Chain A
Amino acid sequence: MSELSVKHLLGIKYLNKSDIQLIFETADHFKEVINRSIKKVPSLRDITIANIFFENSTRTKLSFELAEKRLSADVINFSAGQSSVKKGETLIDTVNNILSMKVDMVVMRHPNPGAGIFLSKHVNAAIVNAGDGAHEHPTQALLDSYSIRERFGVVAGKNIVIVGDILHSRVALSNIFALKLQGANVKVCGPKTLMPKYIESLGVTVETDLRKALEWCDVANMLRVQNERMDISYFPTTREYAQQFGVNKALLNSLDKEITIMHPGPINRGVEITSDVADSDQSIILNQVENGVAIRMAVIYLLASKIK
């Protein structure tokens, strides 16, 4: 039986093509499971998972928790707001304390890039990165690619544009790594102020004209403008941002083809995309959310099988 090449899921850049293939095939199975009347399998009855969130999250946390419960794992939740982290405890101490309670796997979201990698070197548990600063958000990229695969049958050869705040986005980075690994063509689009100067070194091209980008693509992945990560103002107003980089239905209708719209959520309606786009048939935003659970079940299942 095939298995993942890694012990942890720290980022897409540490995976190979067959890992992604394996995760997708496993997710296919779990997607069928979560659409049954009994949505649960007993696979991980002997596994305990800690969801450790040092940053606010609603959907990612829920999605992980649901995935873990659907696999019958024991789950504990911990978030920084209610913890000793605020009292000055270090990350290693916090996690080791939790692990002393016999936890097998840690799903962690953290504001610092590389926090999961750091942790994986210092504690004895499988680590799943649920977002580390502006570094990676691997399960998001996996579910995005999985949703593209579901829509088109393949990812290879598809034209994907990622629109918005590339500078502060772990979703953009993980998506770029995942899409390139699977042979898709990737452009990034957004204001220059939110575009890392060296982004093309990752094998993508920069397009600052949204219409041109949309005309080129099969899929537009619209990122949220992350005001909370910005230390200064990178554009004058969200109104002006929306004028240049927001997608509305009129713009979509004026294109020669029907493109697919994705969004990792939560949506700022009226900024990145208007409501009529978010709620249209072209949008697969809610499919992404459903696929998120299947993908996370697959990741956790495959990593747990390496613990055993």
Chain B
Amino acid sequence: MNILLKSAKIIDAGNSNLHLKIRDIWIKNGKIEKISKKIVPNAQTKIVDNKNLHVSRGWLDTGVSFGEPGYEDRETIKNGLLTAAKSGFTDIILNPDTHPVPDSSSDIIFLKNAAKDSATTLYPLGALTVKSESVDLSELFDMQNSGAVGFYDYKKPVSNSNLLKIALQYAQNFDGLIFSYPLDKNIAGKGIVNEGPVSTKLGLKGMPAMAEELQIARDLFVLQYTGGKLHIPTISTANSVKLIADAKKKKLDVTCSVAIHNLVYTDDKLESFDSKYKVKPPLRGKADIKALISGLKTGVIDFITTDHRPMNIEYKELEFDNAFYGTLGLESAFGVLNKIFDTETAIALLIKGRKRFNITDIEIKEGANVSLTLFDPTYVSEFKKENITSSSKNSMFLDEELKGKVIGIVTKDALLIN
């Protein structure tokens, strides 16, 4: 490996020496060899000199679904990771959204092995309970030793408060991170969309915002009692942001994430009954979006996620009630975030989370292991179906204008240029 990034503008707010500077970056054998104003390449050097080349630390997505094993028709690990790489993500955390779910050490090893030849690194989450059935804890310690970075029953609430208590207590011995999906199942009932004027008008069953908030309030009560590390994935309401803010004031060890699409669209989109907008948690209202964006800016919400969930057309293009939840998110992530926030903020959000998930941190400095994302923040394009690498095409951002494009990634094993 011998690569020269030519005249790259470095976006790295954590490093004042290089932030916003234009530099040549020479990468050799998986490490950043040299950063300088002008580096003269040798004959073997592969030169990357795209127009308007920008570079940041490699991006991380804290919650992606593929499908393998079990749902390979949605997405395989190999093609999923290629999609992630082309979308600028050097690292992704994989949801246990497979069949069967990974609830043992060997399942985790399978996932790691399936991912090992890809440019993007995969960090699996293990199922919190055996078969994600919310009854008995899985072998969390063993899974963590094999590479699981957290424990999650994908989009299933831990409805039994005592189970959550035990999980949070048990995982403390090995610093495990417990996920709790924020949904009170009884309050949500058969709701599939946000309860509000739109669901009323459309006759779609609504789930009140309270179903999410009640569960978060409970989680935080339990956490206060047990201690331990709690992560609440994909919050979606204004009151949830408040609850987390209060918990952080009390110094509880809680983090949370928000899905990018929940920052963009409101439930008004449902008027067409188009199932591409069917996601969980559902699209909410304007006030929620405002609170979520502000929560990200103030740090109350820790991480963004694409909540990427490939879904084949047979399960998506159905009557709204029968369609499966989920949207693609990886490929549109940067182009969407870069419209909501200024580029520096967008990048700051895209590189957050490694510490929380015990993933080795990365830096842009000479001698460091290389993990870089290359992008052009100003390029404007329309997101088209034919540009989608994912095996499934269920993106709610289709035909949207995106601002900025990913040029590629450089990781210690590979260079991938779109």
Bound pair (A, B): yes
Contact, CB under 8 Å: A110 / B319: yes
Q: Are B195 and A198 in contact (CB under 8 A)?
A: yes
State whether A117 touches B273 (Cβ < 8 A). yes
The one of B196, B206, B273 in contact with A118, judged by C-beta atoms closer than 8 angstroms, is B273
A113–B201 touching, CB < 8 Å: no
Instruction: Find chain A residues with CB under 8 A from B204 CB.
Output: 113-114, 134-135
Q: How far is the CA of A90 from the CA of B314 in the complex (A)?
A: 9
A-side interface residues, number (CB < 8 Å): 27
**Given A112-B321, A114-B320 in contact, is the A198-B197 Cβ separation under 8 Å?**
yes
B193 → chain A closest CB, angstroms: 10
Contact partners of B203 in chain A: CB under 8 A: 113-114, 132-136, 170, 173
Interface residue? B322 (CB, 8 A): yes
Interface residues of A in 169-208 (CB under 8 A from B): 170, 173, 196-199, 201-202
B contact residues, total (Cβ < 8 Å): 23
Interface members, chain A 132-166 (any B CB < 8 Å): 132-136
Give complex CA distance A112, B275 in Å: 12
Question: CB-CB < 8 A to A135: which residues of B?
Answer: 202-204
Cα of A69 to Cα of B272 in the assembled complex, Å:
33
Closest to A92 in B: B317
> How far is it, in angstroms, between the C-alpha of A135 and the C-alpha of B206 when the chains are bound?
12
B196 touches A114 (CB 8 A): no
Contacts of B208 in A (CB 8 A): 197
Query: Chain B: which residue is nearest A177 at the CB level?
Result: B201
A residues less than 8 Å from B201 (CB atoms)? 13, 173, 201-202
Contact A199-B318, Cβ < 8 Å, known A114-B273, A231-B189: no
B190: chain A residues at CB < 8 Å are: 231
Q: Is A267 an interface residue (CB 8 A)?
A: no
Distance of B233 from chain A, by nearest CB (Å): 27
Is A38 close to B, CB under 8 A? no
Q: Does A284 contact B (CB under 8 A)?
A: no
Chain B residue at smallest Cβ distance from A115: B319
Cβ of B161 within 8 Å of any chain A Cβ, yes or no, is: no
Shortest Cβ distance from B273 into A: residue: A114
| Residue numbers in A under 8 Å from B199 (CB-CB) | 196, 198
B194 CB, nearest partner CB in chain A, Å: 10
Cα A232 to Cα B190 with chains together (Å): 10
**B residues less than 8 Å from A232 (CB atoms):** 189
B interface secondary structure, majority:
loop
Q: Does A33 count as interface, using CB distance less than 8 angstroms? A: no
- The residues of B that contact A34 with a CB separation of less than 8 Å are none
Cα distance, A22 to B359, chains bound together (Å): 67
Kindly list chain B residues whose C-beta atoms are within 8 Å of the C-beta of A44: none
Instruction: Please tell me if the beta carbons of A118 and B320 are within 8 angstroms of each other in the complex.
Output: yes
Q: How far is the CA of A136 from the CA of B204 in the complex (A)?
A: 11
Is residue A91 contacting chain B, with contact meaning CB distance below 8 A?
yes
A197: which B residues are within 8 A, CB to CB?
195, 200, 208
Q: Are the CB atoms of B321 and A133 closer together than 8 Å?
A: yes
> In the complex, A157 Cα to B48 Cα: how many Å?
73
Proximity bits, B202-229, A CB within 8 Å = 1, else 0: 1111101000000000000000000000
Task: Verify B196–A134 contact, CB threshold 8 A.
Answer: no
Do A201 and B322 touch (CB < 8 A)? Answer: no
Q: Please measure, in the bound complex, the distance between the C-alpha atom of A180 and the C-alpha atom of B317, giving whole angstroms.
A: 33
- The 0/1 profile, CB within 8 Å of B marked 1, for residues 224-239 of chain A is 0000000110000000
A276 and B295 CA atoms in complex are apart in Å by 60
Nearest CB of chain B from residue A216's CB, rounded to whole Å: 22
In angstroms, Cα B322 to Cα A113, docked, is: 10
Smallest beta-carbon distance A165→chain B, Å: 13
A113 and B202 contacting across the interface, CB-CB below 8 Å? yes
Interface residues in A84-113 (C-beta closer than 8 Å to B) = 90-92, 110-113
Cβ-defined partner of A113 (8 Å) among B195, B314, B317, B321: B321
Residues of the A chain whose Cβ atoms lie less than 8 Å from the Cβ of B321? 111-113, 133
B311 to chain A, nearest CB (A): 15
- What is the minimal beta-carbon distance from A12 to any residue of chain B, in angstroms? 11
- Residues on the B chain within 8 Å of A117, using CB: 272-273
A294 to chain B, nearest CB (A): 26
CB distance B197 to A113 under 8 Å?
no
Q: Give chain A nearest CB distance to B288 CB in angstroms.
A: 15
Cα-based distance from A118 to B322 in the complex (angstroms)? 12
| A91 engages B200 (CB within 8 Å) | no
| Contact, CB under 8 Å: A91 / B318 | yes
Q: Is the CB of B200 within 8 A of A112?
A: no
CA distance A91 to B273 in the complex (A): 15
Please state if B318 and A90 are interface contacts (CB–CB under 8 Å).
Answer: yes
Distance from A235 Cβ to chain B, minimum over Cβ atoms (Å): 16
Closest residue on chain A to residue B190 by CB atoms: A231
Residues in B neighbouring A173, C-beta threshold 8 A: 201, 203
A115–B317 Cα distance when bound, in Å, is 12
Known: A114-B320, A197-B208, A231-B190. 20 other contacts (CB 8 A): A13-B201, A90-B318, A91-B319, A111-B321, A112-B322, A114-B319, A117-B273, A118-B319, A118-B320, A132-B203, A134-B205, A135-B204, A173-B201, A197-B195, A198-B196, A199-B200, A201-B197, A201-B200, A201-B201, A232-B189
Residue contacts A-B, CB under 8 angstroms, 30 given: A13-B201, A90-B318, A92-B317, A110-B319, A112-B320, A113-B202, A113-B203, A114-B202, A114-B320, A117-B273, A118-B273, A118-B318, A118-B319, A118-B320, A132-B203, A133-B321, A134-B205, A135-B202, A135-B204, A136-B203, A173-B203, A196-B200, A196-B206, A197-B200, A197-B208, A198-B199, A198-B200, A199-B200, A231-B189, A232-B189
6 nearest CB pairs, A to B? A114-B273, A135-B203, A201-B197, A134-B203, A112-B321, A112-B319
